[in-house]
Amino acid sequence: MWADDQQRLVGFAYVNCYQNLVDVFDATWFSPEIETKLVAWVVAAQQKRNLANSSMLLARSMYEEIPELYIPEGFVIRPLSGEAELEAYVVLHRAAFGSENTTIEHRQAILLAPDYIPELDLVAVAPGGKLAALCVCQIFPDDTPRAGGMKEGWTDPVATYPAYLLQGLARLYCIIVSLQKTCNKP
């Protein structure tokens, strides 16, 4: 929690169970400098916590050359087909993470979120039509001021159905291609 000089609460931050940073600040008090301090604090806290767990953060400039995209023969990477594929998506997510945390209702709520970009909710489809991997890419308009005038994007989660592991479906650069196309839109 953060307080001003008069010890009034002006903001708070936490990392939720999905490893997402959640922060809420009084907009009149918030600044890029405070964001930098916030992120540094959270990173340090998460690094300590993750010594016993595994977590990975990768970063890449959208202006670097992107390696050629490799998709295994017969597979297709495309956006999720909305509510029609939610049940298959939930089955894939649960199998990949070994948990029951994701539900159809949870994913329906994501589809209805104001910042949801359907073109960035990606799935890899195996020959025969089964969902084999998934990646949710996000770009939020409110990141621009905090990112020094540049748009930021990230992927979370990235997951592969256990039967399709080690085929290259979750390679980061295939996701970056989609992010780059969207980040360059006005």
Type of residue at 167: Q
Instruction: Provide the pLDDT confidence category of residue 105 given band limits of 50, 70 and 90.
Output: very high
Q: What is the pLDDT of residue 87?
A: 95
pLDDT tens digits, one per residue of 38-87: 778 877 877 776 665 555 555 566 566 666 667 788 888 889 998 899 99
Does residue 106 sit in the same domain as residue 153? Answer: yes
Does residue 92 sit in the same domain as residue 160? Answer: yes
Does residue 40 sit in the same domain as residue 124? Answer: no
- Min mean pLDDT across 35-39, 74-78, 108-112, 179-183 is at 179-183
pTM of the model: 0.60
Mean pLDDT throughout 143-155?
Answer: 62
Does residue 97 sit in the same domain as residue 174? Answer: yes
Residue-range definition of the domain harbouring residue 131: 76-183
In a domain, 122, yes or no: yes
Number of domains in the chain: 2
In a domain, 37, yes or no: yes
What is the b/e burial string over 53-79, where b = at least 16 CB atoms within 10 angstroms of the residue's CB? eeeeeeeeebeeeeeeeeeeeebebee
Does residue 14 sit in the same domain as residue 85? Answer: no
Does residue 83 sit in the same domain as residue 122? Answer: yes
Q: What is the pLDDT of residue 58?
A: 56
